[in-house]
Amino acid sequence: MNVAEAVVTRRSIRAFTEQTVDLETMRRVLEAARMAPSGCNYQPWEATVLTGAPLKALQDVLLASKPDDPLEYDFSAPGQVDKYKQRLSTLGAQMYGAMAIGRQDVDQRELFSRQNLTSFGAPVLLLSHFPKLMKEPQWSDVGMWLQTIMLLLRDEGLDSCPQEWMGIYGRTIKTHLGLSDDTMLFCGIAIGYRDPDAAVNNFERERVPLDEQVRFLGF
């Protein structure tokens, strides 16, 4: 698989098979991802990767817990602006529509949303964290590292789903993992093999036109 194929075939997978992922594959991916861009070579990213019994133990804790109050960071603020709110609404309509869950079906929507806590059945969960002293440029570096991981996973025939949702339970997760409160629990990445027949993995994704986001000058 070349880079372009990895980019266009990567999507957020929300239904996984039970096929396990071996340690050697994960080490190979994360070893290569170390070469992701890093301003000033700070390499701010850190992670904890769980599978099997340790993953199940964390999920049991999350299922019995409430979200942080207050949250340690807010990823939903752009949703207050109309054009970004519309993009979110479009995604929701496409995703829930694929699963035949109506807008008024609050219980089914809540049930599906809570599947975030078990990473949609993925056999591996990578939890991304870093020291709180890291600022916006380093958050950007962590994002590039995570994207590198997700593309390398595609090269291995694996799939993923980035989960900012895990940040909603940041303090609970840090306590469970024994991480210092000086650490920012950023997000999770659910990792495994996609269920090719699940409707939630097959709806048409929408992106805004290139010229709406990018200007070309001097060409």
Q: What is the pLDDT of residues 148-207, one digit of tens each?
A: 999 999 999 999 999 999 999 999 999 999 999 999 999 999 999 999 999 999 999 889
Q: Strand 46-51 and strand 159-163: pairing? A: unpaired
Overall pTM > 0.85 = yes
Q: Tell whether 208 is covered by a domain.
A: no
Look up the domain containing 160 and give its range.
3-75+117-201
Total domains, the chain: 1
Tell me if 102 is assigned to some domain. no
**Does the residue 152 lie in any domain?**
yes
Whether residue 212 lies inside any domain: the answer is no
Task: Answer yes or no: is 82 within a domain.
Answer: no
Domain-embedded: residue 179: yes
CATH number of the CATH domain containing 158: 3.40.109.10
Give domain status of residue 85, yes or no. no
CB neighbourhood size of 135 (10 A):
9
Q: Is residue 187 part of a domain?
A: yes
Alpha-carbon span 73 to 129, nearest angstrom: 13
pLDDT tens profile 20-32 = 999 999 999 999 9
The DSSP string of the chain is --HHHHHHH--B---B-S----HHHHHHHHHHHTTS--GGG----EEEEEEHHHHHHHHHHHHT----SS-SS-S-GGGGSHHHHHHHHHHHHHHHHHTT--TT-HHHHHHHHGGGGGGGG-SEEEEEEEETT--HHHHHHHHHHHHHHHHHHHHTT-EEEEEGGGGGGHHHHHHHHT--TTEEEEEEEEEE-B-TT-GGGTSPP----HHHH------
pLDDT of residue 98 exceeding 90: no
